[in-house]
Structure 1
Amino acid sequence: MTAPTRPARSAILTVDDDPGVSRAVARDLRRRYGDRHRVIRAESGRQALDTLREMTLRGELVAVMLADYRMPDMNGIEFLEQAMDLYPSARRVLLTAYADTGAAIDAINLVDLDHYLLKPWDPPEEKLYPVVDSLLDAWAATDHKRVPETKVIGHQWSARSSEVREFLARNQVPYRWYQVDEPEGERLLAAAGADGRTLPVVITTTGDALIAPSDAELADRVGLSTRPSERFYDLAIIGGGPAGLGAAVYGASEGLRTVLIERTATGGQAGQSSRIENYLGFPDGVSGAQLADRARRQATRFGAELITTRDVVGVEVNGSARTVRFADGDAIDAHAVILATGVSYRQLTAPGLDGFTGRGVYYGSALTEATNCAKQDIFIVGGANSAGQAAVFLARTARSVTIVVRAGSLAQSMSHYLIQQIAAIPNISVLTCTEVVEAHGGDHLEKITLRHNGTGEERTVDASYLFAFIGAAPRTDWLDGVVARDERGFVIAGPDLATGTALRDWPLDRQPYHLETNVPGVFVAGDVRCDSGKRVASAVGEGAMAVMLVHRYLERT
Structure 2
Amino acid sequence: MNKPVLLTVDDDPGVSRAVARDLRRRYGEGHRVVRASSGKEALDALKELKLRGEQVAAMLADYRMPEMNGIEFLEQAMDLFPRARRALLTAYADTDAAIQAINLVDVDHYLLKPWDPPEEKLYPVVDALIETWRASGEAAVEEIKIVGHRWSAPTFAARDFLARNAVPYRYYSIDEPEGRRLLDAAAADPTEIPVVITAEGRPLLAPSDAEIAAAVGLTVDPATDFYDLIVVGGGPAGLGSAVYGASEGLRTVLVERQAAGGQAGQSSRIENYLGFPDGVSGTQLTDRARRQAVKFGAEMLTARDVVALEVQGSARVVRFGDGSTISAHAVILATGVSYRSLTAPGCHELTGRGVFYGSANTEAPECAGTDVYIVGGANSAGQAAVFFSRHARSVTLVVRGESLHTSMSHYLIQQLEAIENVHVRTRTTVGQACGDDHLESLRLDHADGTTEFVDTGHLFIFIGARPQTEWLDGVVQRDERGFVWTGPDLLNDGQRPAGWTLDRDPFYLESSVPGVFVAGDVRAQSVKRVASAVGEGAMAVTLVHRYLEEQ
TM-score above 0.5: yes
Q: What is the aligned partner in structure 2 of residue 540 from structure 1?
A: 534
Answer whether contact 1:407 1:433 (CA < 8 A) is retained.
Answer: yes
Q: What is the aligned partner in structure 1 of residue 402 from structure 2?
A: 408
Q: Distance in 1 between the 2:449 and 2:492 partners?
A: 41
Three-state SS of the structure 2 residue aligned to 1:481 is coil
Three-state SS of the structure 1 residue aligned to 2:405 is helix
Larger radius of gyration: 2
Q: What is the aligned partner in structure 1 of residue 463 from structure 2?
A: 470
Q: What is the aligned partner in structure 2 of residue 184 from structure 1?
A: 178
Alpha carbons of structure 1 residues 344 and 5: separation in structure 2 relative to 1, 3 Å: farther
Alignment of 1:253-332 (within 5 A): 253-332=247-326
1:1-53 deviations in whole A, cap 9, x for unaligned?
A: xx9579xxxxxxxxxxxxxxxxxxxxxxxxxxxxxxxxxxxxxxxxxxxxxxx
Answer whether contact 2:255 2:304 (CA < 8 A) is retained.
Answer: yes
Picking from 502, 509, 515, the partner of 1:515 is 509
Letter in structure 1 aligned against 2:438: H
2:143 aligned with 1:152, yes or no?
no
Letter in structure 2 aligned against 1:530: A
Q: What is the aligned partner in structure 2 of residue 491 from structure 1?
A: 484
Q: Report the Cα offset of residue 147 of structure 1.
A: 9.3
Q: Distance in 1 between the 2:362 and 2:378 partners?
A: 20
Q: Distance in 1 between the 2:282 and 2:142 partners?
A: 24
Alignment of 1:57-68 (within 5 A): none
Letter in structure 1 aligned against 2:181: R
Q: Distance in 2 between the 1:475 and 1:247 partners?
A: 19
Q: What is the aligned partner in structure 2 of residue 392 from structure 1?
A: 386
Q: Distance in 1 between the 2:177 and 2:496 partners?
A: 61
Unpaired runs of at least 5, structure 1: 7-58, 60-145
Answer whether contact 1:366 1:390 (CA < 8 A) is retained.
Answer: no
2:412 aligned with 1:418, yes or no?
yes
Three-state SS of the structure 2 residue aligned to 1:495 is helix
Answer whether contact 1:166 1:365 (CA < 8 A) is retained.
Answer: no
Three-state SS of the structure 2 residue aligned to 1:328 is coil
Three-state SS of the structure 2 residue aligned to 1:324 is strand
Q: Report the Cα offset of residue 320 of structure 1.
A: 0.9
Picking from 218, 233, 245, the partner of 1:224 is 218
Three-state SS of the structure 2 residue aligned to 1:293 is helix
Three-state SS of the structure 1 residue aligned to 2:154 is helix
Picking from 444, 451, 461, the partner of 2:445 is 451
Q: Distance in 1 between the 2:5 and 2:354 partners?
A: 36
Picking from 148, 151, 168, the partner of 1:174 is 168
Letter in structure 2 aligned against 1:469: F
Answer whether contact 2:160 2:360 (CA < 8 A) is retained.
Answer: no
Question: How many pairs does the alignment contain?
Answer: 416
2:163 aligned with 1:163, yes or no?
no
Q: Greater CA deviation, 192-201 or 268-277? A: 192-201
Q: What is the aligned partner in structure 1 of residue 38 from structure 2?
A: none
Q: What is the aligned partner in structure 1 of residue 475 from structure 2?
A: 482
Q: Distance in 1 between the 2:5 and 2:339 partners?
A: 45
1:44-84 deviations in whole A, cap 9, x for unaligned?
A: xxxxxxxxxxxxxxx9xxxxxxxxxxxxxxxxxxxxxxxxx
Q: Distance in 2 between the 1:222 and 1:516 partners?
A: 36
Q: Distance in 2 between the 1:324 and 1:355 partners?
A: 33
Letter in structure 2 aligned against 1:202: V
Three-state SS of the structure 2 residue aligned to 1:467 is strand
Q: Report the Cα offset of residue 499 of structure 1.
A: 4.1
Answer whether contact 2:237 2:519 (CA < 8 A) is retained.
Answer: yes
Q: Report the Cα offset of residue 271 of structure 1.
A: 0.5
1:280-313 deviations in whole A, cap 9, x for unaligned?
A: 1111111101110000000000000000111111
Q: Distance in 1 between the 2:250 and 2:421 partners?
A: 50
Q: Distance in 1 between the 2:191 and 2:522 partners?
A: 40
Q: Distance in 2 between the 1:502 and 1:425 partners?
A: 53
Letter in structure 1 aligned against 2:513: V
Alpha carbons of structure 1 residues 502 and 314: separation in structure 2 relative to 1, 3 Å: farther
Q: Report the Cα offset of residue 522 of structure 1.
A: 0.1
Q: Report the Cα offset of residue 545 of structure 1.
A: 0.2
Answer whether contact 1:148 1:174 (CA < 8 A) is retained.
Answer: no
Q: Distance in 1 between the 2:521 and 2:381 partners?
A: 17
1:161-183 deviations in whole A, cap 9, x for unaligned?
A: 00000000011111001111101
Q: What is the aligned partner in structure 1 of residue 435 from structure 2?
A: 441
Alpha carbons of structure 1 residues 516 and 442: separation in structure 2 relative to 1, 3 Å: same
Cα RMSD, aligned residues only:
1.6
Q: Report the Cα offset of residue 504 of structure 1.
A: 2.8
Letter in structure 2 aligned against 1:254: E
Letter in structure 1 aligned against 2:264: A
1:67-113 deviations in whole A, cap 9, x for unaligned?
A: xxxxxxxxxxxxxxxxxxxxxxxxxxxxxxxxxxxxxxxxxxxxxxx
Answer whether contact 1:484 1:502 (CA < 8 A) is retained.
Answer: no
Q: Distance in 2 between the 1:178 and 1:462 partners?
A: 27
Picking from 328, 331, 340, the partner of 1:337 is 331
Answer whether contact 2:379 2:408 (CA < 8 A) is retained.
Answer: yes
1:410-443 deviations in whole A, cap 9, x for unaligned?
A: 1111111111000000000001111001111121
Q: Distance in 2 between the 1:456 and 1:506 partners?
A: 53
Q: Report the Cα offset of residue 365 of structure 1.
A: 3.6
Letter in structure 2 aligned against 1:214: S
Three-state SS of the structure 2 residue aligned to 1:438 is strand
Q: Report the Cα offset of residue 277 of structure 1.
A: 0.6
Answer whether contact 1:189 1:195 (CA < 8 A) is retained.
Answer: yes
Answer whether contact 2:244 2:538 (CA < 8 A) is retained.
Answer: yes
Three-state SS of the structure 2 residue aligned to 1:410 is coil
Three-state SS of the structure 2 residue aligned to 1:218 is helix
Q: Report the Cα offset of residue 382 of structure 1.
A: 0.5
Q: Distance in 2 between the 1:499 and 1:349 partners?
A: 37
1:220-267 deviations in whole A, cap 9, x for unaligned?
A: 111000011011100000000000000000000000000000000100
Q: Distance in 1 between the 2:182 and 2:145 partners?
A: 9
Q: Distance in 2 between the 1:515 and 1:169 partners?
A: 32
Picking from 233, 237, 245, the partner of 1:243 is 237
Answer whether contact 1:235 1:334 (CA < 8 A) is retained.
Answer: yes
Three-state SS of the structure 2 residue aligned to 1:186 is helix
1:316-375 deviations in whole A, cap 9, x for unaligned?
A: 111111111111111111000000000011110001111100000000143111110011
Alignment of 1:90-239 (within 5 A): 148-239=142-233
Q: Distance in 2 between the 1:214 and 1:550 partners?
A: 34
* Dislocated runs of 4+, deviation >3 Å: 3-6, 499-502
Letter in structure 1 aligned against 2:223: S
Answer whether contact 1:404 1:434 (CA < 8 A) is retained.
Answer: yes
Answer whether contact 1:395 1:427 (CA < 8 A) is retained.
Answer: yes
